[in-house]
Amino acid sequence: MNHNHYQQSHSSRAASIAAAKKKKRNRTIVLVSASSVLIFGILYFFVSFLPFSQDGRTASVSLAVSDENDWTYGDKESGIVLVEYSDFQCPACGVYYPMLKQLKQDLGESFLFVYRHFPLPSHRNAKIASYAAEAAGIQGKFWEMHDLIFERQREWTNYADARLLFIAYAEELGLDTDAFERDIDSDAVRSSVDNDLSSGRASWVNGTPTFFLNGSKIQNPRSPEEFKRVILGSSGE
């Protein structure tokens, strides 16, 4: 046998074995990484959506609903209060928006719905969207701006200067745009959003949307029908 040929074959075989081992090692790393992501996702689900605080107690809303601090819809005397902590830029909140709108249409004012801001730091335009809704609220059109922001979520989410779009929305709603521009940058508006954020953190809110029914955190219903059953069930109907 040619010695040089043997050495070349041996080297080639060794290289193939090394490559196979490296490929197997890379595959193992990928599998471990995928498993880690899956485990993280499961843990995130339990932390974000199950109705418990980190010390195992049932999470409850920390700040009582008030006319002075909250945007509400419905009957304040109904005895059924649904509080939502929401982020205007959150895709899941965008999915829940029409669900909640349907709920209001179906149940009318038989319950009280409360919207609270919880803009997440990962959403760059979420805070300015909250400021826009608050600024519109000063002129009596919080809910109109709330609806418009959600309905056009895709339009402004990645817009470089979302503030300009919100000013255009204000004009569309017939607001005084000069006053709106002053208010959207005001300390009072920022303080309102910050107060909601603080009450959310104190209530163990760590994702959006998060719902509290009659003060207790609930798992997020998956349909208007399920929402309706949960709400009517809380009233004993």
User: Which residues of the chain are under the pLDDT cut of 70?
Assistant: 1-59, 62, 235-237
Rg of the chain over CA atoms, in angstroms?
A: 26
Q: How many C-beta atoms lie closer than 10 Å to residue 70's C-beta?
A: 18
> Looking at the domain covering 71-234, what would its CATH class be?
alpha beta
The predicted pLDDT at position 42 comes to 33
What the block records as the tokens of 118 is 């919880």
Collect all residues with Cβ–Cβ distance below 8 Å to 63 and sequence separation of at least 6. Answer: 69, 195, 199, 202, 203
Separation between Cα atoms, residue 37 and residue 41, nearest integer Å: 6
Q: Which DSSP symbol is given to 2?
A: -
Q: Provide the whole-model pTM.
A: 0.76
Phi, psi of 12 (to 5 degrees): -65, -40
The predicted pLDDT at position 55 comes to 40
| DSSP sequence for 151-179 | HTHHHHTT-TTHHHHHHHHHHHTT--HHH
Separation between Cα atoms, residue 166 and residue 148, nearest integer Å: 9
- Write down the residue that tokens 């485990």 correspond to: 39
Separation between Cα atoms, residue 22 and residue 192, nearest integer Å: 56
The predicted pLDDT at position 33 comes to 47
Residue 84 Cα distances to 88, 181, 197, angstroms: 12, 27, 12
The predicted pLDDT at position 236 comes to 59
The predicted pLDDT at position 147 comes to 98
The predicted pLDDT at position 10 comes to 47
Separation between Cα atoms, residue 70 and residue 117, nearest integer Å: 10
Sequence-separated contacts (24+) of 200-203 with Cβ below 8 Å = 200/85, 200/116, 200/118, 202/62, 202/63, 203/59, 203/60, 203/61, 203/62, 203/63, 203/85
DSSP three-state, residue 58 = strand
The predicted pLDDT at position 26 comes to 52
The predicted pLDDT at position 234 comes to 78
For residue 91, whether the previous peptide bond is cis, meaning omega lies within 30 degrees of 0, is no
Separation between Cα atoms, residue 204 and residue 112, nearest integer Å: 22
Kindly list the domain boundaries of the chain, sorted by start residue: 1-49, 71-234
